[in-house]
Amino acid sequence: MTLTRRTFLELTAAVAAASSASALAGRIPSAKRPKKILILGGTGFLGPATVDAALARGHEVTIFHRGKTRPGYFNGKVTELNGDRDPLKGDGLKALKDGTWDAIIDNSGYYPRLVKASAELLASHAKQYLYISSISCYKEPNPENGDEDAPLATLADPAVETMGKDFANYGGLKALCEQAAEKAMPGHVAIIRPGYIVGPDDPTGRFTYWPVRFDRGGEVAVPGNPTDPLQIIDVRDLAEWLVKLVEDGTTGRFNATGPDRRMGWGEVVKACQKAGATPSTLTWMSPAFLAKQEGLEFPIWAAFEGETQGFHTWRNARALKAGLRFRPVEATVKDTLAWFKTQEKVEKGRNKLAGPTAEAEAKLLVAWHESRKPKVG
């Protein structure tokens, strides 16, 4: 019933929001020196947000992708190159051989062999390589208040190219991808380690579950305690920061988690409840009770105890010093809910939700209230 590593990794690996470039352009000044940026991927979740942030600053953007996801999405706003991250498939990386860029943003590298191939090829074609890794790169269980020097996950077989059962290989693969990029372009790499990336356009339905659930109103089952820590980063904040790293030529390793202070789970719940169109009441459920339930999991939240105690406590001082900034969680909640409500009319297929169904939640609430009744006899 509590957050499991499998749930986080499965959904995080699937994420690769798109706020519109025209909307951003009105509030973000142009960069003093426009850059040529290549994004490996670019059509998923973080990709479009990064494209929009870069275009709003006046940069020139090229994306490299297979051409299968969201074809025509950018409508001529960027240069599109087609190929495959795997140099052994089709034309592979051939389309990248003749270009030159100021920076590469790699948000689609999951296997070290493929990251090695792209980074080695582009080492003589670019000045900077940003690799989007994951907080999952760290060894489990995560330390409480850990920083970028915490031990990394390892794999028994570094050459494995499957995520494995319950995505057991994901963290170790991300760590190896980091090393591959740094080896190919020493001194020119920025390693970005996000936790939960949330906001408009999120295809995982994890964070989105909560504002949508509260919008429905009624009695809402809420796991844990209001003081449990929670770390998220709005995809638009992450994207704008990536562009800043490019502009500044920043290198190093960074935990891209937010906000800039310790945030309680109850603060996020309150923001979701306030944004909801229908009145709701909260029923907080203890981790001990939830641990006994089977077949249901609440997204985003993790118990502040046991193996997940350090999960939402990563330090982000390095990223803050490098210019990472965060919008209020209330804005993320409001914008995510508004985006979700447009999806059936705009782009079907991105409005799925993680978390329990209404029927499953109703049964859980009954079980909780039954468990609270005094025992007779």
- The answer to whether 211 and 340 have CB atoms below 8 angstroms apart is yes
Distance CA 236, CA 17 (A): 6
**Nearest-CA neighbor of 101 among 24, 185, 21, 43?**
185
Distance CA 5, CA 166 (A): 8
pLDDT score of 28: 65
- The answer to whether 241 and 105 have CB atoms below 8 angstroms apart is no
The helix/strand count (H/E) of the chain reads as 12, 11
* Cα of 306 vs its chain's centroid, Å: 24
For the chain, the distance separating the N- and C-terminal CA atoms, rounded to the nearest angstrom, is: 30
Amino acid at 351: N
- The answer to whether 113 and 161 have CB atoms below 8 angstroms apart is yes
pLDDT score of 23: 42
Cβ atoms within 10 A of the Cβ of 92, count? 18
**Nearest-CA neighbor of 261 among 217, 222, 229, 289?**
229
Amino acid at 265: W
Tokens of 239: 């994207």
Tokens of 135: 């907080």
State the residue for tokens 């089709």.
Answer: 90
- The answer to whether 103 and 38 have CB atoms below 8 angstroms apart is yes
- The answer to whether 67 and 208 have CB atoms below 8 angstroms apart is no
pLDDT score of 32: 80
Distances (CA, A) of 289 to 185, 223, 365: 49, 9, 11
Distance CA 338, CA 228 (A): 27
pLDDT score of 374: 86
In the CATH scheme, what is the code of domain 5-278+295-365? 3.40.50.720
pTM assigned to the model: 0.91
Q: Classify 202 as helix, strand or coil.
A: coil
- Radius of gyration over every alpha carbon of the chain, rounded to an integer in angstroms: 21
Instruction: Kindly list the domain boundaries of the chain, sorted by start residue.
Output: 5-278+295-365
pLDDT score of 377: 61
**Nearest-CA neighbor of 254 among 177, 310, 315, 180?**
315
* Cα of 211 vs its chain's centroid, Å: 17
**Going residue by residue through the chain (377 aa), what tens digit of pLDDT does each one get?**
444 444 444 444 444 333 343 344 345 677 789 999 999 998 889 999 999 999 999 999 999 999 888 888 888 999 999 999 999 999 999 999 999 999 999 999 999 999 999 999 999 999 999 999 999 999 999 999 999 999 999 999 999 999 998 889 999 999 999 999 999 999 999 999 999 999 999 999 999 999 999 999 999 999 999 999 999 999 999 999 999 999 999 999 999 999 999 999 999 999 999 999 999 999 999 999 999 998 889 999 999 999 999 999 999 999 999 999 999 999 999 999 999 999 877 777 788 899 999 999 999 999 999 999 887 76
Distance CA 173, CA 153 (A): 8
Amino acid at 214: F
Amino acid at 145: N
**Nearest-CA neighbor of 181 among 115, 246, 135, 132?**
115
Q: Classify 368 as helix, strand or coil.
A: helix
Distance CA 84, CA 87 (A): 7
Amino acid at 143: P
